[in-house]
Amino acid sequence: MLSIRNATASDTKLILDFIRKLAEYEREPNAVVATEEDLLRDGFGPEPKYRCLIAEWHNVPAGFAFYFFIYSTWLGRPGIYLEDLFVLPGMRGKGIGLGLLRRLAQIAVEENCYGMRWQVLDWNQTAIDFYHGLGATKMDGWDTMRLIEPALSRLARGESEE
Amino acid sequence: MLSIRNATASDTKLILDFIRKLAEYEREPNAVVATEEDLLRDGFGPEPKYRCLIAEWHNVPAGFAFYFFIYSTWLGRPGIYLEDLFVLPGMRGKGIGLGLLRRLAQIAVEENCYGMRWQVLDWNQTAIDFYHGLGATKMDGWDTMRLIEPALSRLARGESEE
C-alpha cells in the first residue's frame, strides 16, 4: 500500500540516505558532501529552500522526490523543479515513482504552476521512455551553463574583467 | 556610470518590458503571456518566487537580471538560477551584463551558494564565448525534460497510469 507524505525535520537522515543511494545509481558515489545539518538548515527553517515528499510502502520508506520552485518569465507563473526522484531498487515496479510524480503534478496544479522540469542522464533510456510515456518532452536548443568555485569568487571580486 | 539595485514593486512594468525585449531577441516575441499583475504577485508578496536586479547607466534603466534560488542535494547548498539576463541593444559594450553577473556572483557568495546556473540558446555563440571567458562550463550528459499542460493535469488526475 503506497502512501506519500511531506518530509519533516526528523526525516533529514532518511533524505540524505536517499540522496546518497541516488548518487550511487548515477555513478557518482563520492559526489555527495551534503550533511544532515545542511538539509535541516535549508529545508526546515523559516524560509525553506527545498521541499521533499517521502513515499512509503506499507509504512516503510521506499522513495523520495526532492523539489523546489522555479519561475517562468514568459508565463509569469512558477514551476516545479524536480531535483531528485528515487525509489529503492527493491521497491520498484509498484508504481511508487509514478505515485510521487503524480503527487508533484497535483501540487503543481494547486500552486498555479505551468508545469514541472527536471534533468535526466542522457544514457538512462529507461527513465527517458518512462517520462515520455507521461507526456514529458525534452527541451532542445538550450545548453545549461554552470559557474562554480573558484570562478564564482573570482567573478564576485571583479577579477574576471578583462 | 553603472549602478545596480534590487528591483521593487514599482518596477514590474520595467521588468515586463525587459522580459518582452529579451523574448524578441530570442526569436520568440509572442511567447510572453506574463502580466504586470503576475510579476507583482509573485515577486513582491510575502514569499517572493523570484528576485530581480536592475542595472542603470547614468540613472537610466539599461538591463536586468531575473533570478531565483535552486538547491543541490549533492552539495547541500543553494545555488542561483539566472532565468533572464538582458541589456538593451543601445547600452551594450559598457560592461553592464558583466556588472550584473558580478553582482549575482557576490550575492551567491553571500548566500552560501555553490554557484550559478543558467541556460543559453545553443546558437548564441557570442554569449557562450562570453560565459566561457568568465569560467563557466557547459553541463554535458544531462537532458532537460519538461511536463506542461495538458499532460500535467492528466498526470495529476491519475489518467497517465497504464
Domain assignment of residue B9, yes or no: yes
Closest-CA residue of B relative to A135 is B151
ipTM of this complex prediction, to 2 decimal places: 0.94
Residues 38-77 of B with CB under 8 A from A: 38-39, 42, 49-50, 66, 68-77
- State whether residue B80 sits within 8 Å of chain A by CB: no
- State whether residue B152 sits within 8 Å of chain A by CB: yes
| CATH at residue B93 | 3.40.630.30
- State whether residue A130 sits within 8 Å of chain B by CB: no
Q: Is A114 a catalytic residue?
A: no
Residues pairing with A4 in the sheet: A55
Average pLDDT for A10-39? 95
Please report, as a single letter, which amino acid is at residue B119: Q
Kindly indicate the confidence band of residue A26, based on its pLDDT and cuts at 50, 70 and 90. confident
Domain assignment of residue A162, yes or no: no
Q: Counting beta carbons within 10 angstroms of the beta carbon of residue B119, is it exposed (0 to 12), middle (13 to 18) or buried (19 or more)?
A: middle
d(CA B96, CA A62): 49
Domain assignment of residue B76, yes or no: yes
Q: Which domain holds residue A130?
A: 2-157
Backbone CA torsion sign across A48, B86, B34, A146: negative
3-state helix, strand, coil in chain B (%, to 5): 35, 30, 30
Question: What's chain B's length in residues?
Answer: 162
Average pLDDT for A65-93? 97
| Overall number of domains in chain B | 1
Question: Under an 8 A CB cutoff, do B151 and A136 touch?
Answer: yes
The residue among B24, B32, B73 with the most chain A CBs within 10 A of its CB, best to mutate, is B73
Domain assignment of residue B73, yes or no: yes
d(CA A40, CA A11): 9
| Per-residue model confidence as pLDDT tens for chain B (162 residues) | 999 999 999 999 999 999 999 999 888 889 999 999 999 999 999 889 999 999 999 999 999 999 999 999 999 999 999 999 999 999 999 999 999 999 999 999 999 999 999 999 999 999 999 999 999 999 988 999 999 999 999 999 998 654
DSSP structure string for B40-72: HHHHSSSS-S-EEEEEEETTEEEEEEEEEEEEE
Q: Which residues of chain A make contact with B126, given a CB cutoff of 8 A?
A: none
Cell of B153: 493535469
Which pLDDT score is estimated for A54?
A: 98
Average pLDDT for A119-145? 93
Domain assignment of residue B162, yes or no: no
Domain assignment of residue B92, yes or no: yes
